[in-house]
Amino acid sequence: MTTAVRPLPTARAALALLTRHWRRAYLAAVVATLVNTVPDVLRHLPVWDDPRVWTAVVVDVIGFLTALLAQLWVTGAVADLPEGGPLRPRGALGRGTRLALAAVRTAPGTVATGVVLGGAVSALLTVPASVAALGADQVLGPLDDPAASAFAVAAVSDVVASAVTLPFLALVLVLAGRRRLTSRGPGQ
């Protein structure tokens, strides 16, 4: 019998775990964020002064995909934290992908709640700094040759937001995905 995964209790449990295991959770997030920063910055360079909207969309799609890989890796790396286990970086991407797929299949509302809550925190950390540095039209549209200092401010705010929010959603996915994976009996 599968136990229902409820969104708000799972989010609260993820926050409690994050509070209890913050060093390990944020270590995984910082590692993933720093690795993701290289492609995150490089994806902007070919279209630095390109004013076309479609290039901005391509840059955003690439950014989404690299961020998704980082999220899945962090999810797999922190998968044992609910039981007090260690970080497990080896095989984390595959483990995180399995947990995320299980969570999305069986608890889409819980996953959506985690995404919305994490996204709200991320927006609070990135949007004001990026708008102040780049201007609203460059944040929403093509970069159109921004000053390097303005781009650096926006990039740093993005790095901070990623490092802060990745562990929360990872733990939501772990809790929801584990419940699904452990509730299946043999042969199901």
> Which pLDDT score is estimated for 142?
67
Beta-carbon-side half-sphere exposure of residue 72 (alpha carbons within 13 Å): 18
* Rounded Cα–Cα distance for residues 128 and 77 (Å): 31
Tokens for 34?
Answer: 């720093």
> Which pLDDT score is estimated for 160?
95
Q: What share of the chain is helix, strand, coil (3-state, %, to 5)?
A: 80, 0, 20
* Rounded Cα–Cα distance for residues 124 and 141 (Å): 19
> Which pLDDT score is estimated for 186?
42
Tokens for 23?
Answer: 């060093």
> Which pLDDT score is estimated for 45?
77
Q: Mean pLDDT of successive 10-residue segments in the chain (188 residues)?
A: 77 97 97 90 76 79 92 98 96 98 96 97 94 84 77 90 96 90 47
> Which pLDDT score is estimated for 182?
54
**pTM, two decimal places:** 0.87
> Which pLDDT score is estimated for 143?
66
Q: Are 70 and 166 spatial neighbours (Cβ–Cβ below 8 Å)?
A: yes
